[in-house]
């Protein structure tokens, strides 16, 4: 099948899934994708959380954690404060500061082959020669090709431009954890929005590592086009010397899957602005959840709940029962698997037709981005003291998006680990000991090997709270 046919086929199946509504709820179909691929995705998320844990133990004393995941240093001002004719960098020399970025203003020239960005002083003026090696991804991970950023002393050594652009550029890598849906948004798309929204489309994207993720720019084509009117440049294959009035190298991450408004260069932006941008760019019709006002004529529609199916591990084993509980609580419920390989805008339109997203901790919950503001995210938090991780990845971001957020902590009776390991196992009796033994064990036991069977009676109040939130959001 060609890519286009596959995509149509996927769309058709998605629509079928979405058509399974109300009392006709069925569990998601079995998946055809490879188990290995999905496990890789899980391990990728693992990487993030390991990083967070590491951060928590290695913070220097002058750093204030507002919330974990929002790490702020009083000494750091808003990034990319520009100085015309200069390069201004902020590098992650210290472990808590996740991102490297530079901004060069003036006569800036790029060479894709060398992966270099060079600021050339205006003729007649001299600068201090300086050089930085910048990781063009928002987490300073090993194995990502670095960009050499140079501030030349004078113009004599400058290579002439082969193409001259009159708009600024942002250079970033599709690397690191790219390909995991949560990381795509948290590490790349939200930071890219922060870096480039102020240009109102008059900005060019210079992307590295496209060759390893050829589908990525296709999946996010509409998103990228929403921020930039110009075709992105595949930097690794670029033989030109391009000249720009300004180049930002690298993306900055301050808060997982969110925005710290005070730190946005060029003016405040919030997560509300981000989801508004998504609705505009993806043509999502709903900017408010269904109205549940009692006095409404004709009688109100039921709010729609999307239960996100996971196929291979960390599953909700009794999905049909939970969907029935949602119907009993007053929702129209749909169980669907959202496959990450459809164009993002298509998936977003599906999710935007819902008022509530429900699922177990995992990248699929990133879909809450497409809910109308005032909607609700319900996160099922796996057994094993996973609350902080769950809040960091989705709880606080959901609040920043203007969503109601409720979590449901899986009890020991509801986890598959009880039967698999027995009541005396440390993972059951003493989750703290597992956390002390390090991230790999936490990931393996609580995220990779755990399925849950939710007690519908115990879960019912969470559904009631979600419904109540929708009632009150009008
Ligand atoms: C770009 O850099 C490479 C590697 O340093 C060099 O060989 C090439 O000549 C440069 N391109 C141009 C057009 O100067
Ligand atoms: C389900 O939860 C309810 C309410 O918390 C409790 O009374 C009941 O015993 C639980 N059922 C099972 C099978 O654990």
Condensed to tens digits (0 to 9), the pLDDT of residues 34-46 reads: 222 332 333 333 3
pLDDT at 5 exceeding the cut of 50 = no
Lowest mean pLDDT, pick from 20-29, 54-63, 400-409: 20-29
Q: Rounded CA gap, 212 and 174, in Å?
A: 8
Structure token pair of residue 388? 């902080």
Q: Is the CB of 241 under 6 A from ligand 1?
A: yes
**What's the pLDDT score for residue 297?**
56
162 CA closest ligand 1 atom index: 13
Q: Is the CB of 418 under 6 A from ligand 2?
A: no
Q: Rounded CA gap, 30 and 12, in Å?
A: 16
User: What spacing in Å lies between the alpha carbon of 15 and ligand 2's midpoint?
Assistant: 36
Cα dihedral value 343, 344, 346, 352, nearest 10: 170
pLDDT at 283 exceeding the cut of 50 = yes
**What's the pLDDT score for residue 18?**
30
Ligand nearest to the CA of 456: 2
Report the residue among 110, 113, 147, 148 best suited for mutation to probe ligand 1: largest number of ligand atoms under 8 A from its CB: 113
**Other CB atoms closer than 10 Å to residue 216's CB: what's the count?**
18
**What's the pLDDT score for residue 147?**
97
User: What spacing in Å lies between the alpha carbon of 419 and ligand 2's midpoint?
Assistant: 17
**What's the pLDDT score for residue 84?**
79
Helix (H, G, I), strand (E, B) or coil at 389: helix
Q: Is the CB of 379 under 6 A from ligand 1?
A: no
- Mean pLDDT over residues 89-94, rounded? 70
Element at 354 (helix H, strand E): none
Q: Is the CB of 26 under 6 A from ligand 2?
A: no
**What's the pLDDT score for residue 34?**
28
Structure token pair of residue 206? 């210079």
414 CA closest ligand 2 atom index: 14
User: What spacing in Å lies between the alpha carbon of 456 and ligand 2's midpoint?
Assistant: 8
First to last CA, the chain: 47
Lowest mean pLDDT, pick from 6-15, 160-169, 171-180, 284-293: 6-15
Ligand nearest to the CA of 325: 2
Q: Are 154 and 254 in contact (CB under 8 A)?
A: no
413 CA closest ligand 2 atom index: 14
For residues 240 and 75, the model is more confident at: 240
129-184 pLDDT, tens digit per residue, is 999 999 999 988 889 999 999 999 988 888 999 999 999 999 999 999 999 999 99
b/e for 264-297, b at 16 or more Cβ within 10 A? Answer: bbeeebbbebbbebbbebbebebeebbebeeeee
**What's the pLDDT score for residue 373?**
97
pLDDT at 329 exceeding the cut of 80 = yes
pLDDT at 71 exceeding the cut of 70 = no
Ligand nearest to the CA of 412: 2
pLDDT at 341 exceeding the cut of 60 = yes
Greatest alpha-carbon pair distance for the chain in Å reads 77
**What's the pLDDT score for residue 413?**
98
**DSSP code for 317:** T
pLDDT at 448 exceeding the cut of 80 = yes
pTM score, whole prediction:
0.84
Ligand nearest to the CA of 408: 2
Q: Rounded CA gap, 271 and 402, in Å?
A: 8
- Mean pLDDT over residues 316-321, rounded? 96
Q: Are 228 and 203 in contact (CB under 8 A)?
A: yes
Beta strand pairing call for 101-111 and 241-249: antiparallel
- Mean pLDDT over residues 215-223, rounded? 96
Lowest mean pLDDT, pick from 6-20, 152-166, 207-221: 6-20
455 CA closest ligand 2 atom index: 1
pLDDT at 397 exceeding the cut of 90 = yes
User: What spacing in Å lies between the alpha carbon of 24 and ligand 2's midpoint?
Assistant: 26
- Mean pLDDT over residues 299-326, rounded? 92
Q: Are 58 and 95 in contact (CB under 8 A)?
A: yes
Indicate the domain borders of the chain.
3-30+284-472, 77-268
User: What spacing in Å lies between the alpha carbon of 246 and ligand 1's midpoint?
Assistant: 20
**What's the pLDDT score for residue 153?**
93
Q: Is the CB of 457 under 6 A from ligand 2?
A: yes
pLDDT at 82 exceeding the cut of 60 = yes
Considering the chain, what is the average pLDDT of its residues?
83
**What's the pLDDT score for residue 357?**
98
Helix axis angle for 319-329 and 456-472, nearest 10°, is: 40
| CATH of span 3-30+284-472 | 3.40.50
**DSSP code for 464:** H
pLDDT class of 74 with cuts at 50, 70, 90: very low
User: What spacing in Å lies between the alpha carbon of 173 and ligand 2's midpoint?
Assistant: 49
Q: Are 253 and 96 in contact (CB under 8 A)?
A: no
**What's the pLDDT score for residue 73?**
37
Q: Is the CB of 163 under 6 A from ligand 1?
A: no
pLDDT at 80 exceeding the cut of 60 = no
- Mean pLDDT over residues 237-264, rounded? 93
User: What spacing in Å lies between the alpha carbon of 208 and ligand 1's midpoint?
Assistant: 16
Q: Exposure of 34 by Cβ count < 10 A (0-12 exposed, 13-18 middle, 19+ buried)? A: exposed
pLDDT class of 190 with cuts at 50, 70, 90: very high
Residue nearest to atom 12 of ligand 2 (CA): 455
- Mean pLDDT over residues 285-296, rounded? 82
Beta strand pairing call for 116-120 and 101-111: antiparallel
Q: Is the CB of 36 under 6 A from ligand 2?
A: no
Residue nearest to atom 5 of ligand 1 (CA): 114
User: What spacing in Å lies between the alpha carbon of 410 and ligand 2's midpoint?
Assistant: 12
Helix axis angle for 3-19 and 344-352, nearest 10°, is: 10
User: What spacing in Å lies between the alpha carbon of 231 and ligand 1's midpoint?
Assistant: 23
**% of the chain residues with pLDDT over 90:** 69
Q: Is the CB of 114 under 6 A from ligand 1?
A: yes
241 CA closest ligand 1 atom index: 13
Residue nearest to atom 4 of ligand 1 (CA): 114
């Amino acid at each position: 099948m060609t890519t286009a046919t596959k995509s149509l086929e996927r769309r058709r199946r998605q629509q079928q899934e979405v058509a399974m509504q109300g009392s006709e709820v069925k569990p998601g179909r079995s998946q055809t994708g490879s188990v290995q691929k999905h496990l890789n995705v899980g391990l990728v998320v693992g990487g993030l959380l390991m990083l967070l844990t590491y951060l928590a133990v290695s913070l220097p004393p002058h750093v204030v954690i507002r919330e974990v995941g929002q790490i702020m240093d009083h000494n750091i001002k808003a990034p990319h404060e520009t100085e015309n004719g200069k390069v201004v960098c902020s590098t992650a020399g210290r472990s808590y500061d996740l991102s490297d970025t530079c901004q060069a203003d003036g006569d800036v020239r790029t060479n894709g082959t060398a992966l270099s960005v060079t600021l050339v002083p205006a003729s007649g003026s001299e600068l201090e020669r300086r050089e930085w090696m910048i990781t063009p991804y928002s987490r300073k991970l090993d194995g990502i090709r670095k960009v050499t950023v140079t501030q030349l002393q004078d113009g004599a050594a400058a290579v002439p431009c082969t193409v001259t652009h009159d708009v600024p550029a942002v250079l970033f890598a599709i690397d690191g954890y790219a390909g995991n849906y949560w990381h795509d948004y948290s590490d790349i798309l939200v930071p890219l929005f922060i870096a480039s929204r102020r240009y109102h489309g008059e900005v060019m994207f210079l992307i590295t590592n496209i060759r390893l993720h050829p589908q990525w720019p296709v999946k996010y084509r509409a998103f990228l086009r929403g921020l930039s009117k110009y075709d992105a440049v595949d930097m690794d294959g670029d033989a030109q010397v391009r000249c720009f009035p300004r180049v930002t190298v690298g993306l900055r991450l301050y808060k997982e899957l969110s925005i710290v408004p005070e730190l946005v260069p060029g003016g405040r932006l919030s997560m509300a602005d981000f989801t508004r941008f998504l609705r505009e760019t993806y043509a999502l019709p709903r900017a408010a959840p269904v109205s549940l006002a009692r006095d409404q004529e004709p009688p109100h529609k039921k709010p729609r709940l999307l239960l996100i199916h996971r196929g291979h591990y960390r599953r909700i084993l009794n999905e049909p029962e939970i969907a029935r509980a949602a119907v009993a609580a007053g929702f129209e419920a749909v169980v669907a698997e959202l496959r990450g390989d459809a164009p993002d805008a298509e998936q977003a339109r599906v999710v935007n037709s819902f008022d509530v997203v429900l699922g177990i901790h995992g990248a699929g919950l990133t879909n809450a981005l497409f809910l109308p503001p005032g909607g609700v995210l319900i996160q099922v938090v796996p057994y094993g003291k996973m609350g902080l991780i769950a809040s960091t990845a989705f709880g606080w971001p959901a609040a920043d998006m203007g969503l109601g957020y409720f979590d449901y902590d899986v009890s020991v009776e509801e986890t598959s680990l009880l039967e698999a390991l027995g009541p005396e196992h440390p993972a059951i009796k003493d989750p703290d000991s597992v956390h002390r033994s390090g991230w790999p064990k936490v990931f393996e036991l609580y995220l990779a090997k755990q399925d849950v069977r939710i007690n519908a009676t115990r879960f019912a109040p969470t559904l009631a709270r979600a419904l109540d939130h929708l009632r009150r959001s009008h």
